Structure 1
Amino acid sequence: MSQIKTLNPALIGIATQTTYLPTHSRPEDNQYTFAYTVTISNAGDVSVQLLSRFWQITDADGDVQEVRGEGVVGEQPIIRPGRYFRYTSGATLPTPVGYMNGEYTMILHDDDRPLDLKDQLAFEVQIPAFTLHTPTSLN
């Protein structure tokens, strides 16, 4: 008899850290580039796999860019219980201040058998908003 595994999406933690990249930015051309590092942790007792991402990137003028895609940084990582996955990516804004938020689409991953995506129920994990800003823009 197979056991049905479930996971509360609240057991997936999201932590972010941002850095302004002045050497990749051109303020005179309204291009401000930022790196962001995301740590996705699994406090549950079931492995999960990140399938896709959705970002809303909002600049100081209120303009929104939407980004959708498979995985993150070319990967669809499996995050086992008690473990985490960390990656760094980047965004360029036309203003020195903005923020990002979004969601990851994940599935439960059974380490004991091959993954069959059609049999999986996907769930969303919200990515809380975080600020992108140059060092002096919020003073």
Structure 2
Amino acid sequence: MSEAIRIRVTSQHLAESSNPAQQKYAFAYHISIENCGREAVQLLNRYWLITDADGKKTEVRGAGVVGKQPVIAPDECYEYSSGAILDTPVGTMQGYYEMQSADGNTFQAPIPVFSLVVPNLIN
């Protein structure tokens, strides 16, 4: 069932919300979750593994996304934006959504690894 869920991510550095002097780098990410399957699914929970350039790993688990547990009908897409703050100007995020199909079965839809990078960091 997870193969029926297509997840796309874009990210950007938020310079105005960052404070490099205090080693705080803010990033926004926008996620698109497309249901390419034949039945509705509900996003129940999320899991993130956030890794900074120093190898510091932070795990985040919780119900839904941005306060919602959306039901995504076949051929529909759910989109949302959120953010993360790292101690380094480079890092990655990856994880999965725990989804439930209309018949009550739960499964994990993997979120591929994506980068969080301050632009023009390396010239």
Q: Distance in 2 between matches of 1:132 and 1:19?
A: 7
TM-score w.r.t. structure 1 length? 0.86
Q: CA deviation at 1:11?
A: 1.1
Is 1:79 the equivalent of 2:72? Answer: yes
Q: CA deviation at 1:121?
A: 2.1
Q: CA deviation at 1:136?
A: 1.4
**Aligned ranges 1:19-34 → 2 under 5 Å:** 19-34=12-27
**Aligned ranges 1:32-51 → 2 under 5 Å:** 32-51=25-44
Two-structure CA RMSD over aligned residues (Å): 1.0
Give the unaligned 5+ runs of structure 2. none
Percent of matched pairs sharing the same residue: 46
Match of 2:83 in 1: 90
Q: Distance in 2 between matches of 1:108 and 1:43?
A: 13
AA of the residue aligned to 2:46: R
Q: Distance in 2 between matches of 1:10 and 1:138?
A: 36
Match of 2:116 in 1: 132
Q: Distance in 2 between matches of 1:101 and 1:74?
A: 19
Match of 1:115 in 2: none
AA of the residue aligned to 2:73: R
Q: Distance in 2 between matches of 1:137 and 1:129?
A: 20
TM-score w.r.t. structure 2 length? 0.97
1:35-69 per-position Cα deviation (integer Å, ceiling 9, x unaligned): 00000000011000000000000000011000000
| 4+ runs deviating over 6 angstroms | none
